[in-house]
Structure 1
Amino acid sequence: MKSCLIDTIFLSDKRKNLLLLLLEGPQTSDEIKDKLNVNWGAMIPQIKKLEEWDLITNKDRVYYLTDMGRAIANNSKRLLNILCVYEHNHKYLATHDLSGIPPHLLDRIGELGPCKLLESDLAHVFDANDDVVDAMIDATFCVTPSNFFQPQYNKMYNTMLKNGCDIGLIYSQSVYERIVSEYVYDGKAELDEVRFLDWKKVKFFVIPDGLEITEITVTNNIVLLGLFDSDGRFDSRYILSTGERSRNWGLELYEYFSRNAKRIETDVKD
C-alpha cells in the first residue's frame, strides 16, 4: 500500500536527503551512494517509493527529479531551512517580536541558517562583543539600520573606515542627534578614536520613527539580527549568520527599512 506523500518525504532521511541532493542536478547511483554515504541496497526501496509518486525518474541509472518532484523538493528545502533556524534559536525567536520583519522576509527566514545566537555574560553586556568585532573588522561593506548606538564599537568602525570599508548607518532622529552631540569629534576635545566616530566618512541616514527591530547589520561576511523581546524591551543578544543567502536576505531587510530614510550630508559621495 502506497504511503501518503508527506510521510514518503519526511519519514525517511534517505528519501528526504535524496530529493535535496537531486536539486543539485542529476546523480548516478555511485554519486548518490558516495554523497549520501549510504548502502545502495538500502537505497533501492527508498527510490522505488519516490518513483511511485513520480517524484524522481532514472535513465541508465542516472536519477533525476521530475518537474513536480523539483517543485516539492524546493519547497521542502525551504520548510526544512525554516525549521532548522527556529529549532536552533527557538527560545530567542519564540520570546521576541518578529512583527518588524515584513511577511515576505519572515516567510524566508530559513535563509539565515545555519546561524548561532550571540550572548554576552552580565559582566560584559555593555562591552563590544568579540564575535561581532572579529566578524566585522575586515569587512569592505557594512550597512546598519539600528534603534540604538553603541559607542564601544567606535574603534571598530574607525578601523574599518581606515581599511576602506564602505559604511552606511541608519538611525532614528533622536539617536542621530545624540551621536552628533556626544560621539562626533567637535574639534575642541582631545581626538579619541575610541570615543569619537569619524562620521564624515560614513553614509548617515535618519528614519523619523525608528525601526521595529533593534538592529540588522549586513557586511560582505555576516548578517547580525537583533530583536526586541515580546514586551518591547531591548535585548543584547543577536542572531549571527553567514553565507550568500543570508546576506541577500539581510540586504532586502536593509532596503526595506531604507525606503523611508533621509540622507544626512557628510563628505562621502556616491
Structure 2
Amino acid sequence: MNSFEIYYEMEDNLQAIYRSRLLTEILLSLNESSRKLSQLREITGSTSQAIIPKLRKLEEDHLIETKEREYCLTPVGKIVALGVADSFATVGTVSKFKYFWSTHYIEGIPTPLLKEIGCLYNSEVLYDKRTKILSVYSNQLKIIKNADHIYGISSVITEEYADSILEKVKEETSVELIVPLNVAEELKQSPYVEKLQVLKSYKNFQLKSKTEDLRIGLIVTDKCLVLSLYKKSGTEYDITTGLFSSDPKAIEWGERLFEYYKIHSDANLHGNYAL
C-alpha cells in the first residue's frame, strides 16, 4: 500500500487531528508532559467547554488517558503525538530556511537524515556579507578551537583549517575526519603531507576517505553543529554560507550524519598517509 492509498484510507482520522487546532495543541502539549485540565486551558487559551469534547474524542481513540486527575498520552498516543510533532518540525525547518535549502545541493544528505531534518529547526544560517568577508569560515575555525571533540566531513581543505585541526590534536582533542578522494589527493601534496606526518603518531586522530564526491561540509563538536553545502548546481562548494546550531537535537543529528558517512567510508587512512 503506497502513501496515497494510506492517506485515502485514513483521511478522516488524519483530518480530525490536523484540521482541529485544539486537538493538535492538546497532543503537542501532552507530548511534553501530562497536564491538568486547568493547564490545558492556559496553554490552549480555550475554555473547559471547548476542551472537554476533544479530550473525550482522544480518549475514545485510545490516544490519551487520565492518571491522578491529569491527562497523559497512552503508548499509542505517544506514537501519534511524536509523528505530529515531527511533521511540524519538518515543515517548519524547510520553511524557516527555505532560501538555504532551495539554493543549495541537498542531495548530499542521505534520505534517513533528510527525514529527520526537523532536528535543525533551532539553527541559524549565516551568510558572508560584502563588509564581512569569510565570516562563516572564521566562525567555523572558532568552533574548532573551542571543541572538546570534533567530527568532520571536509569537501575542501585549506592550510588554516589543517593547522587548526593539528593544534587540536596536539591538545589531545579527539578528531575524526572524512574526506572525498579529491581532498585525499590534495593531502599528498605540500604543505598537507608534512602536517599529516606529524599527525601520524597521534592515536586521537582518525582520517577516512570516500572514493566518490562528498558534496557536503560538516563540523560537529560537543557544543555546535555546522552544515555547509554545495551550491544548487552541485559543482561549487559554498564557503560563504553555513547553517549553525548549538541545539542538542541538531548536534545529535550531525553526529548521525557523520556516522552514516563513517560507516560508508571506503578506507581508513590513519597511519597510511601515502594514500
What TM-score, normalized to structure 2? Answer: 0.77
- Aligned counterpart in structure 1 of residue 176 of structure 2, from 168, 175, 184: 168
The question of whether the paired residues in 2 share the 8 Å contact of 1:15 and 1:47 is answered with: no
Partner Cα distance (2:227, 2:261) in 1: 13
Tell me the residue number matched to 1:148: 156
Tell me the residue number matched to 2:258: 254
- 5 Å matches for 1:114-129? 114-122=122-130, 124-126=132-134, 129=137
> What's the offset of the Cα at 1:74?
1.0
The change in CA–CA distance for 1:58 and 1:249 in structure 2 (over 3 A counts) is same
Partner Cα distance (2:88, 2:227) in 1: 20
The question of whether the paired residues in 1 share the 8 Å contact of 2:35 and 2:70 is answered with: yes
- Greater share of residues in helix: 2
- 5 Å matches for 1:66-145? 66-122=74-130, 124-126=132-134, 129-145=137-153
Matched, 1:48 2:53: yes
Partner Cα distance (1:90, 1:107) in 2: 16
**Is 41-50 or 257-266 further displaced after alignment?**
41-50
Aligned partner letter, 2:190: E
Deviations 1:210-257 (A, max 9, x none): 31x221222112222222222113222122233333233222221222
The change in CA–CA distance for 1:206 and 1:139 in structure 2 (over 3 A counts) is same
- Aligned counterpart in structure 1 of residue 243 of structure 2, from 236, 239, 261: 239
Is the partner of 1:204 in helix, strand or coil? strand
Tell me the residue number matched to 2:221: 219
**Is 24-33 or 249-258 further displaced after alignment?**
24-33
Deviations 1:66-97 (A, max 9, x none): 34432221100111111121111101112322
The change in CA–CA distance for 1:30 and 1:52 in structure 2 (over 3 A counts) is closer
Aligned partner letter, 1:71: I
Is the partner of 1:248 in helix, strand or coil? helix
Partner Cα distance (1:131, 1:10) in 2: 40
Is the partner of 2:108 in helix, strand or coil? coil
The question of whether the paired residues in 2 share the 8 Å contact of 1:168 and 1:204 is answered with: yes
> What's the offset of the Cα at 1:8?
4.6
Partner Cα distance (1:129, 1:265) in 2: 26
What TM-score, normalized to structure 1? Answer: 0.78
Partner Cα distance (2:181, 2:76) in 1: 50
The change in CA–CA distance for 1:168 and 1:48 in structure 2 (over 3 A counts) is same
Identity between Structure 1 and Structure 2 (%):
21
Gaps of 5+ in 2: 1-11
The question of whether the paired residues in 1 share the 8 Å contact of 2:122 and 2:250 is answered with: no
Deviations 1:187-218 (A, max 9, x none): xxxxxxxxx6764343222222231x221222
- When the two structures are aligned, how many residues end up with a matched partner? 251
Matched, 1:208 2:216: no
- Aligned counterpart in structure 2 of residue 265 of structure 1, from 256, 265, 270: 270
